[in-house]
């Protein structure tokens, strides 16, 4: 029998008491973010991925409030890109504001996010340390349950060992069949760092690929669904984004079917390394 891959499955994170819903919903370039998140929540999505850079944290927060779903049932992720004036205190202020926008809290409950990430390693060694110290402080004061990183390559992860007192629970990177990121993922696995997979359907640019089309036909599924299923069977947490309700539904229709070992192997052969990235990111920037 095919294993259960429901959008509401909760998977434990190493180094945390929290559990993360297996499939996320990304809101980068969402055209009407508040409406889209409301639709996603009504369909069953429980993991929303936003960022300061997307300029829609407040809309995510409004949608969560209006949905009437208990805050603790929804897993919200946001990110900060650069430190503020290289100051831990000012950076902490900025990330507190993000929390305020997403979840201002209630009379008897302090607001929080579930996961706060360093969006990119692009601020350099010193900047990354400032960002991490601010995130550690936010976690200690209860503004976020967990902290993690995004777009971090091998060197950035090793370097973190010199300044972290709290380990990252996840590394959010571009992963899909054409950009499989094997080396950095192997390192993350060895360190107990979960992989959240952004652009999991390569922004729908590879849906004509004959291997994916053939596999999809065997299962009566669209190639993008095959890509999401591959991600899940690899143990990643994919974050597909769609503004379209039919595609949102298709992206979470992962239950009751499974890719065979042979199909997984065929998909492994599609890897094009960094050349296959749709969002080329300097995982090796200094
Ligand atoms: N950490 C980072 O640096 C980073 C970078 C990029 C993205 N992300 C996160 O990851 C999320 C997803 O990545 P992404 O938005 O770049 O790419 P994606 O999810 O791979 O692709 C989104 C694109 O595919 C289309 N689409 C969605 N479902 C489809 C389906 N079933 N069939 C055909 N087309 C479909 C969408 O159009 P419609 O909306 O019209 O359906 C949209 O144009 C983002 O929203 C964001 O939360 C993080």
Mean pLDDT (whole number) for 57-74: 97
Q: Cα Rg for the chain, rounded, in angstroms?
A: 18
In a domain, 285, yes or no: no
In a domain, 286, yes or no: no
DSSP single-letter state for residue 179 = B
In a domain, 281, yes or no: no
In a domain, 277, yes or no: no
88 C-alpha to ligand 1 centroid (Å): 32
Atom of ligand 1 nearest to the CA of 242: 39
Structural domain count, the chain: 1
**pLDDT at residue number 231:** 98
Residue nearest to atom 10 of ligand 1 (CA): 198
In a domain, 3, yes or no: no
**Contact of 49 with 258, CB cutoff 8 Å:** no
**pLDDT at residue number 285:** 85
Residue nearest to atom 37 of ligand 1 (CA): 242
| Range of the structural domain that residue 173 is part of | 10-269
Atom of ligand 1 nearest to the CA of 199: 20
Can you read off the two tokens belonging to residue 145?
């349950």
What average pLDDT is seen over the chain? 96
In the predicted structure, residue 147 carries a pLDDT above the cut 90: yes
User: How many CA within 13 A on the CB side of residue 32?
Assistant: 6
158: domain CATH number is 3.20.20.100
Q: Tokens 């929804």: give the residue.
A: 74
Q: Which of 78, 168, 213, 240 gets mutated to test ligand 1 (max ligand atoms within 8 A of its CB)?
A: 240
In a domain, 34, yes or no: yes
Q: Which of 24, 47, 227, 241 gets mutated to test ligand 1 (max ligand atoms within 8 A of its CB)?
A: 241
Q: How many CB atoms lie within 10 A of CB 272?
A: 12
Instruction: Categorize the per-residue pLDDT at 3 as very low, low, confident or very high, splitting at 50, 70 and 90.
Output: low
Q: Is the CB of 204 under 6 A from ligand 1?
A: yes
pLDDT single digits (tens) 110-136: 999 999 999 999 999 999 999 999 999
Mean pLDDT (whole number) for 2-16: 85
Please state, for a pLDDT cut of 90, what percent of the chain lies above it.
94
**pLDDT at residue number 40:** 98
Q: Could you tell me which residues are annotated as the binding site for substrate? A: 119
Atom of ligand 1 nearest to the CA of 117: 1
In a domain, 283, yes or no: no
In the predicted structure, residue 2 carries a pLDDT above the cut 80: no
Give the separation between CA 151 and CA 93, rounded to whole angstroms.
23
In the predicted structure, residue 282 carries a pLDDT above the cut 80: no
pLDDT single digits (tens) 193-203: 999 999 999 99
In a domain, 278, yes or no: no
């Amino acid at each position: 029998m095919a294993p259960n891959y429901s959008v509401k499955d909760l998977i434990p994170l190493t180094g945390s008491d929290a559990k993360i819903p297996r499939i996320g919903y990304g809101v980068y370039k969402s055209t009407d973010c508040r409406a889209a998140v409301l639709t996603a929540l009504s369909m069953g999505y429980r993991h929303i991925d936003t960022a300061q850079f997307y300029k829609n944290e407040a809309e995510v927060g409004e949608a969560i409030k209006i949905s009437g779903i208990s805050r603790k049932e929804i897993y919200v992720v946001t990110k900060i890109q650069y430190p503020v004036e290289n100051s831990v205190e000012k950076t902490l202020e900025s990330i507190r504001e993000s929390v305020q926008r997403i979840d201002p809290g209630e009379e008897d409950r302090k607001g929080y996010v579930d996961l706060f990430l360093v969006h990119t390693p692009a601020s350099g060694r010193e900047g990354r340390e400032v960002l991490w110290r601010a995130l550690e402080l936010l976690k200690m004061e209860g503004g976020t349950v967990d902290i993690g990183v995004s777009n971090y390559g091998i060197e950035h992860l090793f370097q973190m060992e010199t300044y972290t007192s709290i380990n990252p629970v996840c590394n959010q990177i571009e992963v899909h069949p054409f950009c499989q990121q094997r080396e950095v993922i192997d390192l993350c696995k060895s360190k107990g760092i979960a992989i959240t997979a952004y652009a999991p359907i390569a922004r729908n640019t590879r849906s004509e690929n004959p291997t994916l089309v053939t596999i999809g036909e065997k299962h009566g599924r669209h190639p993008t669904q095959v890509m999401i299923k591959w991600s899940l069977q690899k143990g990643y947490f994919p974050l597909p984004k769609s503004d379209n309700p039919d595609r949102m539904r298709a992206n979470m229709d992962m239950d009751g079917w499974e890719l065979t070992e042979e199909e997984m192997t065929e998909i492994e052969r599609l890897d094009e390394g960094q050349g296959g990235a749709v969002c080329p990111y300097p995982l090796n920037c200094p």
